[in-house]
């Protein structure tokens, strides 16, 4: 059995807390949890990791959201400042929609939770409505997804997936 050195252990701990990073600053509000209280006013990756670890391991942010304590609230709107799949593959996806098939289209269908037997319908509907999905060159990923959602709601076979978007 291999021994782990100190750097590997710290790396494993840091990586294991990454999923909770968004939790410390978003769910329950930006001031939610003991970790945020303990590291108030500090910045940088180390402080964020420590606050996330504190909030994630003790469950105090979850308790705070359900009880309205620990600086937590569920009144705000959750946000995400990362990049969506649609934005990452926009060029490839638009080419696939124009053709009516392709890997990016398959990836989008999988991401949207469309069952294998309904993916040809997804390809057909988006292909037939290319100008609706991509009305201009500067269309945003958000606008593309809103158009797809509308098209799926109006299609008898795809309507079952429209609430997943």
Shared domain check, 50 and 93: no
Shared domain check, 160 and 89: yes
Shared domain check, 52 and 110: no
**Is the residue at 61 inside a domain?**
yes
Shared domain check, 107 and 60: no
CA geometry: angle 102, 108, 114, nearest 5 deg: 105
Shared domain check, 99 and 54: no
Nearest by Cα to 115 from 160, 85, 163: 160
For residues 133 and 147, is the Cβ–Cβ distance under 8 A?
yes
Which of 39-48, 60-69, 74-83, 114-123 has maximum average pLDDT? 114-123
Quote the pLDDT of residue 54. 78
Quote the pLDDT of residue 56. 74
Shared domain check, 96 and 63: no
Q: Domain of 36?
A: 6-67
pLDDT at 98 > cutoff 60: yes
What is the average pLDDT across 76-82?
60
Shared domain check, 40 and 14: yes
Looking at 22, 41, 67, which one is the last position of a domain? 67
Quote the pLDDT of residue 3. 56
Which of 78-82, 84-88, 155-159 has maximum average pLDDT? 155-159
What is the average pLDDT across 3-9?
53
**Is the residue at 79 inside a domain?**
no
Instruction: Classify residue 111 by burial, with Cβ atoms within 10 Å: 0-12, 13-18, 19+.
Output: middle
Higher pLDDT, 113 or 33: 113
Please list, in sequence order, all residues whose beta carbon lies within 8 angstroms of the beta carbon of residue 106, skipping any fewer than 6 positions away.
119
Which of 7-21, 66-80, 112-126 has maximum average pLDDT? 112-126
What is the average pLDDT across 11-28?
45
Shared domain check, 93 and 147: yes
- Interatomic CA distance for residues 149 and 132, integer angstroms: 11
pLDDT at 69 > cutoff 70: yes
Shared domain check, 91 and 159: yes
Q: How many domains does the chain have?
A: 2
Span of 27-31, 37-41, 119-123, 146-150 with lowest mean pLDDT: 27-31
Q: What is the pLDDT of the chain when averaged over all its residues?
A: 78
**Is the residue at 60 inside a domain?**
yes
pLDDT at 22 > cutoff 70: no
């Amino acid at each position: 059995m291999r021994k782990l050195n100190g750097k590997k252990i710290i790396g494993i701990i840091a990586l294991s807390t990454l999923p909770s990073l968004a939790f410390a600053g978003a769910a329950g509000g930006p001031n939610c949890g003991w970790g945020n209280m303990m590291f108030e006013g500090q910045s940088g990756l180390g402080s964020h990791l420590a606050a996330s670890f504190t909030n994630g391991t003790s469950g105090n942010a979850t308790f705070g959201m359900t009880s309205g304590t620990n600086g937590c609230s569920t009144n705000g709107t959750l946000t995400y400042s990362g990049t969506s799949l649609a934005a990452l593959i926009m060029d490839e996806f638009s080419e696939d929609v124009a053709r009516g098939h392709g890997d990016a289209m398959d990836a989008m269908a999988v991401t949207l939770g469309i069952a294998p037997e309904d993916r040809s319908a997804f390809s057909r509907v988006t292909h037939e409505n290319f100008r609706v999905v991509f009305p201009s060159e500067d269309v945003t990923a958000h606008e593309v997804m809103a158009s797809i959602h509308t098209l799926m709601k109006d299609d008898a076979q795809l309507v079952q997936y429209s609430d997943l978007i």
